Structure 1
Amino acid sequence: MIEIIRAAFVIARRDFTAIIFSKSFFFFLLGPLFPLGIGIAAGSLGSQVSRDIENPVIGIATSADDADILLATRLRLSRSLGVNTIPELVILKDVSGREADVIAKLNSDKSLTAIISGTLDAPVLSGSESDVKRWQGKIALLAETALSQPVTVDIETIFVGQTSSASERDQLLTAQAGQAILILLTMILAGMVLSNLVEEKTNKIIEILAAAIPMDAIFLGKLFAMLGMALVGIAVWSSVGLSIAFLVGGNLDAIPSPAVGWPIYCILLVLYFSMAYLLLGSLFLGIGAMATTVREVQTLSMPVTMGQLLVFFLAYSSITKLGEPMEWFAVLFPFSSPFAMIARAAQMDNIWQHGLALIWQGVFTMIIIRFSVMLFRRNVMKSGQAARKKSLFARVTGK
C-alpha cells in the first residue's frame, strides 16, 4: 500500500505540474465565462422547489368568533380575487393572543409564516420583518372586508428577529445554491480526466508507465492530479469573484447563513466537490479504459453525462423532503450523496453525519477505481483473467 501511495504521488506530481505550467491552463481558467449561461438557465429549475417553499400559512390567535369570520372572509376573497390572494389561515387553539405566546409559537412551529392576534378592528400581525411587510396589506384587506363596514383598519405589527419559517426558507435557498455550484463545477471539470487518459493511451505513454508502476497508483495519481488542478482553478475563480463583489459593494451579509455556519459549510463545499469529482472522475477512468478512440469516448460518456443530470435532479428535488424515503435514497446513493449532503449541511446543524457520508463516498470511489483498473488491464494491457484464458485458448487451438 505504501508503494502504491508513493507511486501515485509521483504520477500526481508529474500530471499536476505539466497541466498547471502549460499555456492552455490560462484558457482553462477562462472556461467558466462560457458556460455561465448554463448556471443562469439552471435557475429556472427552482420553480418547483420555490412552489414547495412559498406555501405561506398564517395562524389565527384571536377569539373563536373572530377566527371563524376571518376564515369565511378569506374564502369569499379567494373566490372573487384568486386563490393565492390571501395566504392559508389556520386557527391556533393552543395559543393565546399574548405577545410572548405568539413569539414562542412562531419560533417553535416551522410551518407558520406569521400570526394574527388582537381583534378584527385592531388586528396585530407578528412575524419576521420581511413576511410582515409582505402580507400586512392583504391582512388589512381581510380585516376590512370582515367588518363589512367602510372603515380603514390599521395593522399593528410585531417584528420577530427570525421566525422558524423564515429561517427554513433562507436555509433552503442556501441549499439550492450549494447544489447548483457543485453540479456546475463537476460538469465543467470532471470530463478532463477522461480526455487526459485517452490522450496518453493514444500516445502509448500509459503503457510505458504501466510497465514500471502499478495501475492502481497510475489511476489514483491521475485522479488526484486532476482534482488538484480543479481546486486551483476554483481558488482563482473564487478569489476573482469575491474581489469583484467587494469592489462593487456587494452585501455578503445578506446571503442566508447555513445551519452549520459559513466556515464549516465552505469546508464541506470543498470536501463534497472533491468527492463528487473523484466519484465521477473514477467512472470516467473506467470509460477511458474501455474506449480506444475519441468517437468511442463520446459514445460511452454521453450516458454518464445524462445520468449525472438525473442524479442532480434527484438530489435537487429532495431538498424540501428531509427525512423522507426519497431524500434518504439521495443521501445513500453514492453519486447523488455529495449533492444531497451539502443540502443537509445548509438545513441541519449536526456534523457527525457528514463524516459518515464522506467515508462512504470515499469507499465507493476506491471500488470504482479498482473496477476501472481491471477494465484497463483486460482491454488495454491484455493482462486480466479473460485475456489469459484467451491466450491459453489460442495456444491450444493454434489460432
Structure 2
Amino acid sequence: MTPFLRNIFVVARRDFLAIVATPTFLLFLLAPLFMIGMGALGGFGASQLADSARGAGRIVAIAGPADVEPLRAADARLRDALPGDKPPALELRVAARDVDPVAVAQEKGADTYAVMSGPLAAPRIVEREEGSRSGAYLALLATDVLRDRAAGAVAPAAPRFENLKKGGTSIAAQQGLGLGAVFVIFLLTLLLAGQSVGMLAEEKGNKVIEILAAAVPLESVFLGKLLGLLGVAILFIAFWTAMAVGGGLIAMTQLDPGALANAGAASANAQATSAAFGVTPATGWPFFILIMLAYFIMSFLLLGAIFLGVGAQAGTVREIQMLSLPITILQVAMFSLCSGAANAPGSSVATIAQIIPFSSPMAMAARAATDDAKAVHLLALGWQAIWVALVVTLSVRLFRSGVLSGRSSWKFWERGAKAVAAGDQ
C-alpha cells in the first residue's frame, strides 16, 4: 500500500472511531426510532381526533311509521356500495307534528349535516352546507325506497364477481416504491453527510485539523474524512437493516402456523405470491436493494465532499452553519425534483432529474422501481462517478485553501493562491 493510501485509511479509521466509539453515537443511531415514535404518536392522536369528530356526525331522516324500516334497509344496502368515505350515521325518527327539521339540525351534542322530513316523493332537506354529500345521500335514500315500491317486492341481485388481474405489481404501487426510495436516500444523505460539518467545526476549533495537516498531506486528510464518514453511514444502514430483518423474523414467529399455511396455500400462483409479499420493483428486490445502496454511496460522496470543501472556508461554527444552509436548500430542491420524477416516470421531468448530477442518484433509484432495464444503471453510475471525481477534486482544493489559511475569508481564489505558494515553498 502506498503512503498516500495508507494515510487515507489512517485518517478514515481515526474519524470512524471518533464518531462510533462515543456514547452520543448511540443516540444518533437511535434517532430514527425517536422520529418514528414521535410521528406515530402524532398520527395516532390525529387519527383519534378525526375518528372522534367523524363519530359525532349524523344525518337525520324524519319519516312516517311506514317509511322508517324501508329507509333503514335502503341505508344498509347503499352505504356499503358507495365508494370513498361513507356517509355519516343515519338516525331515523318517526314524524310528529311538533318536529322542526331546523331545530333538529341545531341540536347540541352531535354535528348534524342534513335533516330530511316530509313525504318521500317531495322531501324537505335541511343542509348545513349547500349541495353537500349528506343531503344528496338522503335524497338517494328516498329515491331508492320509491323505486322499490314502484317495482314491488324484488329479490336482491345475486351477481357473480370475476376478478380481472394483471400480472406483477401495479404501476401506481411501483411509483410509490420509487418515491419511497427517493425519500430514504434524501433523508439518509442529509442526516449522515451533515455530520462532516459538525466534526470539521470541532476540529477547527481545537486545532486538531492543523495537527493533521502537519502530519499528512491535506488530500489524504480530506479523502480519509470522507471515507470515514461513509463507513459510519454504511454502519448506520446496516444496523437498521438488521433491525428491520430481525423485527420481521420475530413477527413471523408470532403468527399462527395455521394462518401461515392457509396463506401459503392461497399463494399458489405468482400473482398471489406477489400480492402476499407486497410491492415488487420492476428490477426485482435483490438488484433494487443493491442499486439503491450504490446510488446512496454516490449521493453521499457528492454531498459529503461539498460539505467538507465549503465547511473548510469558515472560521467559526456560525459561519459553517450559514455556509451549509445553501447546500441543504439545494438538496431539498433536488428532492422535490426527484419526487416529481418518481410520480411521472418517462416524462421530461424524470429525464432532467436523471441527468442533473445532484439529483441523478435519487431519480435513478426511483427509475429502478418502475423500469426493468438494468444496463442503464451502469451508465448512470459511470456518469455520477465522473461528477464525484470532479466535485472531490474541487472540494480538495477548497479544503486545502481553507485549512492552510486558518481564518475566515470569502476570497477563495486568493486563499487558493496562498495555499499553492505555501506548498511550493
TM-score (norm 1): 0.65
Larger radius of gyration: 2
> Offset of 1:154 from its aligned partner?
5.1
Write out aligned runs for 1:1-399 (5 A).
Answer: 3-36=3-36, 155-163=159-167, 167-249=170-252, 253-382=276-405, 386-387=414-415
Amino acid at match of 2:206: N
Matched-pair identity in %: 38
Shift of 1:39: 7.3
Taking the aligned partners of 1:176 and 1:25, their CA distance within structure 2 comes to 29
Partners of 1:154 and 1:25 in 2: how far apart?
Answer: 63
TM-superposed deviation, 1:297: 1.3
Q: CA deviation at 1:25?
A: 2.0
> Cα distance 1:169–1:387, how it changes in 2: closer, same or farther (>3 A)?
closer
Distance in 1 of aligned mates of 2:298 and 2:386: 10
Residue 35 of structure 1 and its aligned partner are, at CA, apart by 3.0
Cα separation, partners in 2 of 1:174 and 1:387, compared to 1, 3 Å: closer
Match of 1:73 in 2: none
* Shift in alpha-carbon separation, 1:245–1:212, aligned structure 2, 3 A: same
Pairwise CA RMSD: 3.5
In structure 1, stretches of 5+ residues that fail to align are 44-81, 86-144, 393-399
1:376–1:158 distance in 2 versus 1, CA, 3 Å: same
Render the CA deviation track for 1:311-338: whole Å, top value 9, x for unaligned.
1010011113222221111001111111
Structure 2 residues not aligned, in runs of 5+: 44-81, 86-146, 261-274, 407-411, 421-425
- Mapped to 1, the partners of 2:22 and 2:385 lie a distance apart of 30
8 Å contact kept, 1:39–1:184: no
Shift of residue 241 of structure 1? 2.4
CA distance in 1: counterparts of 2:9 and 2:339, whole angstroms: 35
SS in 1 for 2:246: helix
Q: How far does the alpha carbon of each residue in 1:364-397 deviate from its partner, in whole angstroms, 9 at most, with x for none?
A: 12222221222233333149873486799xxxxx
* SS across alignment from 1:302: helix
The answer to whether the Cα contact below 8 Å between 2:357 and 2:387 also exists between their aligned partners in 1 is yes
Q: Measure, in 2, the Cα distance between the counterparts of 1:3 and 1:360.
A: 29
Contact 1:193–1:281 under 8 Å retained in 2: yes
- The answer (yes or no) to whether the contact 1:216–1:370 under 8 Å persists in 2 is no
| Secondary structure, aligned partner of 2:298 | helix
- Residues of 1 paired with 2:4 and 2:388: CA distance? 16
Quick one: distance in 1 between partners of 2:419 and 2:245? Answer: 59
Secondary structure of 1:35's aligned partner: helix
Structure 2 match to 1:65:
none
Residues 153 and 246 (structure 1), Cα distance of their counterparts in 2 relative to 1, 3 Å cut: same
Q: Secondary structure at the match of 2:162?
A: strand
CA distance in 1, matches of 2:351, 2:38: 28
Q: 1:136-170 CA distances to partner (integer Å, 9 max, x unpaired)? A: xxxxxxxxx9xxx8886654443344357x62122
Letter in 1 for 2:354: V
CA distance in 2, matches of 1:369, 1:12: 16
Aligned residues: 293
Give the match's secondary structure for 1:350.
Answer: coil
CA deviations over 1:95-136 (Å, ceiling 9, x no partner)? xxxxxxxxxxxxxxxxxxxxxxxxxxxxxxxxxxxxxxxxxx
- Decide whether the 8 Å contact of 2:295 with 2:365 is kept in 1: yes
1:96 corresponding residue in structure 2: none
Cα contact 2:312–2:403 (8 A) shared by 1 = yes
CA contact (8 A) 2:196 2:304 kept: yes
